[in-house]
Structure 1
Amino acid sequence: MRKSKLAKLDKKQRPWLQLYGDVPANIEFPSYSMVDNFIKASEKWPSNCAYSYYGSKVTYKELVEKIKITARALKSYGIDKDDKVTICMPNTPEGIIMVYAVNMIGGICNMVHPLSSEKELEFFINSVDSKYILVIDAVFEKVYKLKDNTNLKKIIVAKVSEGMNIPLSGLYWLVNGRKVKYPKGDKTVVMWEDFIYNSRGYQGEYYQPRKAHDPAVILYSGGTTGTPKGILLSNLNFNALSIQATTVIKEATPDSKVLSLLPIFHGFGLGVCIHTPLANGMTCILIPQFNYKKFGEIIKKNQPNFIVGVPTLYESLTETKLAPEDLKCVTSAICGGDALNPTLRDKVNKYLYEHGSSAKIRVGYGLTEATGAVCLSPSNQFGDGIIGMPFPNIYMKIVVPETHEESPIGVDGEICVSGPNVMMGYVNDDVETVRTLRYHDDGRLWLHTGDVGYLGKDNLFYFSQRIKRIIVSSGYNIYPTYIETIINSHDAVLTSTVIGIPHQYKGQVAKAFIVLKEGIKPSKQIEKEIKDLCVRHIAKYSLPYEYEFRDTLPKTKIGKVAFKELEKEEIEKNQ
């Protein structure tokens, strides 16, 4: 009787469960670490290809050995349990190997963007007192300058060409290798091959078992609202995601190949594009730097089954020249990281169909504080703003902002998430952690996401807006995402971004930045058509005061539109 009552209560709290079909509402997650999860996958599929990298392929069995050797190397340099090892790498084999090796010795990976400024890198290193760093050769000189301002004991340098096959490696060195200057006689600096060679002298224990709730990785928020925050994630966070995603996405099988374009220093990249495939026998196609001009070549050569990316990546895909059958290999296309406007969604689906793919783009929702993903739209529903159903074991609800009170069905409020994907907290910031992670009356710990959305009558979730992007004009709330959706529906528009700009009397008003499709030039006629479109669909107080056409929009380091840069431009313009 008690189980029956609990089941009914659960369905009331999670009404979307009736849409699950054969997907279980709850899954039992392992109590062990990320690397243990990978090792168990290697025992099931030892001969499967774990990753491919510019002509080089490594099996699961081979990757396990590389991880063990790297773990011994780490120990040989005195790196131990709970030490924070900074990984400043793109998607290369050394970056992946280091993540699991650090996890194997019980350390914590401090993941940072190679293109971070010197000041940002110094903050990332010092904020967690990291004494060891793995850095890609292209940014070594920037990191080396920080040596005296940090407690770094060892700078391990890996070349992009390290994991390539021999012909490509030699070519890369001829073109790029000579540009990097290394100091002579400085024992702080060690090259990857020497670092690995040092493992031979270590005969002690290197495996430090970690549990599900032990810390594993520190990732950083995008930093578009100020100083980036360190986000501490556990082994459970990543392992839960790796099981949830493959339970929900039926196309995910051990012989699947995933185009791993999203970077390892991003939650969506490390969680969805790296750990999830490697915990399930799949192949990661590692791409360290995305070049949209070579997108078609990458697809034809690697034949991925999964494409996982942000909207800008899919924009690039639709501009790629491919033959009618070139996307036949693609069985699943997942978009996350930012809102996907309906115009681009329809364009992508049309492009996939015309080039032989049976897939239709599915929209995921998540944030770094929830390991990158907690929700995915169904494969047969494509409504505007839809983000779909939460994963198994995930609870979601919509609350009136700044309260714990649930919003009615269909009414916008703040999206809150509870479950095994939610972070442990912010690094060295108890105030922000307490503000973001809150216990509600139901006894659950809820992550207040700062995003606006609603639960529809169809029991699916819809994304509306980032709370911090709301424009307040004469006391009225203006939602940029809605205005962008209207503008993007014009046939000539590729994409747009709306921001708030200063206004003497209203405080703020809306301004639209518009990028037109290739081959279409701005004109008074197009501007008039867009304005008329807005007048027909948008409340008068929400209408943009200004419209500006641009060739491109600025992007953040993870590919989102950098609306803060546009806001800064406007503020400077009005000073």
Structure 2
Amino acid sequence: MTQTAPAQHGADADVQAWLEIFGSPEADAATLLVDRHDPDSVAFVTVGVDGDELTTTNVTYGELAAQSRRLATALAGLGVERGSRVGVLMGKRTELVVTLLALARLGAVYIPLFTAFATPAIEMRLRGGDATVVVTEPSQAAKLEPIDGLTTVVAGEQFDSLVAQSDPIDRSVAVGGDGALILLFTSGTTGAPKGVPVPVKALASFVTYMRYGLDVSADDVFWNAADPGWAYGLYYGILGPLAIGRPNVLLQAGFTPETTAKVLTELGVTNFAAAPTVYRSLSKSSAVDGFGLRRASSAGEPLTPDVIDWAKQALGTEVRDHYGQTEHGMFINNHWADEVRRPLIPSSMGQPMPGFAAGIVDGQIAIDVPASPLMWFAGYLDAPEKTAARFTEDRRWYLTGDTGRVDDDGNFYFSARDDDVIIMAGYRIGPFDVESVLITHPSVVDVAVVGRPDDLRGEVLEAFVVVADGVVGDDALEAELQQLVKTGFAAHAYPRTVHFVDALPKTPSGKIQRFILRRQ
């Protein structure tokens, strides 16, 4: 059965209006993202960390517009033109945004490269996208040296000189709503990364999420802490804020609970979005001692119930879980906007967002494509077979590859990646259900559950557990954890073996790579 967002005339009208703007054949991404906004308005607040002190700098739309016009001219001089793909290997800095906008002015395509990548991962994405120009920063430039055939622009003296010495481009290229803006590669949770072309019309979906999923208001101090090298940070930390004209915070430092708490306090953040691992780390830290957040949202992996319970007092609000993928952005959410907000049900990821309809097909969470005007994914780059596997034969349904269920009230629940489901003696067990119990143990900092082949039962469960500092992972703790699952979830679903490890294998965006654990 297909489930749609609750009928709201205002939301439906908004979706239609945004589709007309961002999906227009004349859509010009640079105009839509920067030129149409008040040049004196703040677009981003960059935050540096100097010892115990934070330093903040406001970046206006006028500054972004002026610099991106000049950089577009410089990049054109390097051979970048409409349809060219350009890699961008930078952290959360102003030059990243300027580069994205300069490429949009040329009708070129931006390939985000996460700064934690090693050279082989970078090269795979550049080769896959047929990119020969890369814009980077000094701390990352050495990673590009072993890759043949690249032209690099490095933030700092070279970047600034190109901008200063170039005349502003006369006008931007309008590639239209179907024209590519981004080429983003999937995280590779279950296999090799795949290239996802993101068209300009996807901005309509991103704006809908900013409005109805996150409820970013004109009075909010908004901070999406996710890295722009990945979908959630790029879609809703860079593109979404630009499209709605609301500033985001760009923290130019690595994550620690202490720094995060300091930014939340000193900048007066009221609307916060981050990955579950951020909330989990904050919940284990003494640095968090009560905040006054208006909204808190999570995406990337399901939230465990203990984090939801902790947040109400520690953050001043509940954390609402949202669900999506690189291929289409967020589309099932515990929405924050008044018009579509429902009471939070722990472990539920919510209901379809306005502009989307969803259901369960062959056990998988699926998007009803004809009933989802905001669905923009058309296929992977140069991968027709992988694209076909994502859709039913009649192309009506997009299959996420994630198993789940939906209740009678239209609330969706995540179970597992389709190939992560454990079938033991005929029982289908989602790793998330068991992990949600194990993480409640005070000695457990992080956990992943996988299936292991078994001659008798088909599969049995094994857990990989990271324990807190000072805790010894021994037979006694293993027995405690097994009993915890028996009493907290189901007697048959306890892990037959508990492995105590220093860390779990994860993608750079924080998703557990269970396929690696299954090989061990």
TM-score category by the smaller chain? 0.7 to 0.9
Question: Matched residues in 2 for 1:431 and 1:120: separation?
Answer: 23
Q: Please say if residues 4 and 353 of structure 2, whose CA atoms lie closer than 8 Å, have aligned partners that are also in contact.
A: no
Partner residue in 1 for 2:449:
498
Residues 351-366 of structure 1: matches in 2 within 5 Å? Answer: 351-353=314-316, 359-366=317-324
Normalized per residue, the structure richer in helix is 1
Partner residue in 2 for 1:123:
124
1:232 is matched with which residue: 160, 174, 197?
197
2:30 is matched with which residue: 22, 27, 35?
35
**Cα distance change, pair 137–260 in 1 and its aligned pair in 2 (3 A):** farther
1:341 is matched with which residue: 304, 311, 323?
304
Partner residue in 1 for 2:410:
459
Partner residue in 2 for 1:536:
487
**Cα distance change, pair 383–526 in 1 and its aligned pair in 2 (3 A):** farther
Question: Matched residues in 2 for 1:237 and 1:106: separation?
Answer: 16
Deviation per CA, 1:464-485: give whole Å up to 9, x if none. Answer: 2211211244555332111112
User: AA paired with 2:227?
Assistant: P
Partner residue in 1 for 2:207:
242
Question: Matched residues in 1 for 2:173 and 2:104: separation?
Answer: 8
**Secondary structure of 2:244's aligned partner:** coil
Question: Matched residues in 1 for 2:234 and 2:289: separation?
Answer: 32
**Cα distance change, pair 243–535 in 1 and its aligned pair in 2 (3 A):** closer
**Cα distance change, pair 546–390 in 1 and its aligned pair in 2 (3 A):** same
Q: Please say if residues 178 and 199 of structure 2, whose CA atoms lie closer than 8 Å, have aligned partners that are also in contact.
A: yes
Report deviation, 1:247.
Answer: 3.8
Deviation per CA, 1:128-163: give whole Å up to 9, x if none. Answer: 21121112222211211102xxx43x211125xx8x
- Residues 1:157 and 2:158 aligned together: no
1:192 is matched with which residue: 159, 164, 181?
159
Residues 204-353 of structure 1: matches in 2 within 5 Å? Answer: 205-250=170-215, 252-292=216-256, 293-322=258-287, 324=289, 327-328=291-292, 330-353=293-316
Question: Matched residues in 1 for 2:29 and 2:270: separation?
Answer: 24
Question: Matched residues in 2 for 1:389 and 1:80: separation?
Answer: 41
Report deviation, 1:36.
Answer: 2.3
Unaligned 5+ runs, structure 2: 49-55, 337-341
Higher relative contact order (CA 8 A, sep 6+): 2
**Cα distance change, pair 79–49 in 1 and its aligned pair in 2 (3 A):** closer
Q: Please say if residues 311 and 338 of structure 1, whose CA atoms lie closer than 8 Å, have aligned partners that are also in contact.
A: yes
Deviation per CA, 1:499-524: give whole Å up to 9, x if none. Answer: 12344555532111234456655465
User: AA paired with 2:391?
Assistant: L
**Cα distance change, pair 502–459 in 1 and its aligned pair in 2 (3 A):** closer
Partner residue in 2 for 1:73:
74
Q: Which protein is bigger by CA-based radius of gyration? A: 1
Q: Please say if residues 256 and 283 of structure 1, whose CA atoms lie closer than 8 Å, have aligned partners that are also in contact.
A: no
- Residues 1:17 and 2:38 aligned together: no
Residues 357-506 of structure 1: matches in 2 within 5 Å? Answer: 359-371=317-329, 373-379=330-336, 381-401=343-363, 413-416=364-367, 418=369, 419=372, 420-438=374-392, 440=394, 445-473=396-424, 476-490=427-441, 492-503=443-454, 505-506=456-457
**Secondary structure of 2:386's aligned partner:** helix
Question: Matched residues in 2 for 1:119 and 1:50: separation?
Answer: 32
Question: Matched residues in 1 for 2:289 and 2:474: separation?
Answer: 34
Question: Matched residues in 1 for 2:485 and 2:500: separation?
Answer: 16
User: AA paired with 2:159?
Assistant: W
Q: Please say if residues 437 and 488 of structure 2, whose CA atoms lie closer than 8 Å, have aligned partners that are also in contact.
A: yes
Q: Normalized against structure 2, the TM-score is what?
A: 0.87
Partner residue in 1 for 2:62:
61
Q: Please say if residues 438 and 481 of structure 2, whose CA atoms lie closer than 8 Å, have aligned partners that are also in contact.
A: yes
Question: Matched residues in 1 for 2:275 and 2:6: separation?
Answer: 27
CA RMSD of aligned residues (A): 2.7
Q: Please say if residues 91 and 287 of structure 1, whose CA atoms lie closer than 8 Å, have aligned partners that are also in contact.
A: yes
Question: Matched residues in 2 for 1:563 and 1:13: separation?
Answer: 30
Q: Please say if residues 4 and 352 of structure 2, whose CA atoms lie closer than 8 Å, have aligned partners that are also in contact.
A: no
Which is further off, 297-306 or 267-276?
A: 297-306
Q: Please say if residues 12 and 355 of structure 2, whose CA atoms lie closer than 8 Å, have aligned partners that are also in contact.
A: no
Q: Normalized against structure 1, the TM-score is what?
A: 0.79
Question: Matched residues in 2 for 1:248 and 1:506: separation?
Answer: 42
**Cα distance change, pair 227–554 in 1 and its aligned pair in 2 (3 A):** closer
User: AA paired with 1:446?
Assistant: W
Q: Please say if residues 138 and 154 of structure 2, whose CA atoms lie closer than 8 Å, have aligned partners that are also in contact.
A: yes
Q: Please say if residues 41 and 281 of structure 1, whose CA atoms lie closer than 8 Å, have aligned partners that are also in contact.
A: no
Question: Matched residues in 2 for 1:193 and 1:22: separation?
Answer: 45
Q: Please say if residues 515 and 549 of structure 1, whose CA atoms lie closer than 8 Å, have aligned partners that are also in contact.
A: yes
Question: Matched residues in 1 for 2:332 and 2:288: separation?
Answer: 33
**Secondary structure of 1:425's aligned partner:** coil
Unaligned 5+ runs, structure 1: 1-11, 163-190, 354-358, 402-412, 571-575
**Cα distance change, pair 533–243 in 1 and its aligned pair in 2 (3 A):** closer
Partner residue in 2 for 1:179:
none
For this pair of structures, how many residues does the alignment match?
497
Report deviation, 1:245.
Answer: 2.5
- Residues 1:47 and 2:5 aligned together: no
**Secondary structure of 2:117's aligned partner:** coil
Which is further off, 275-284 or 362-371?
A: 275-284
Report deviation, 1:84.
Answer: 0.5
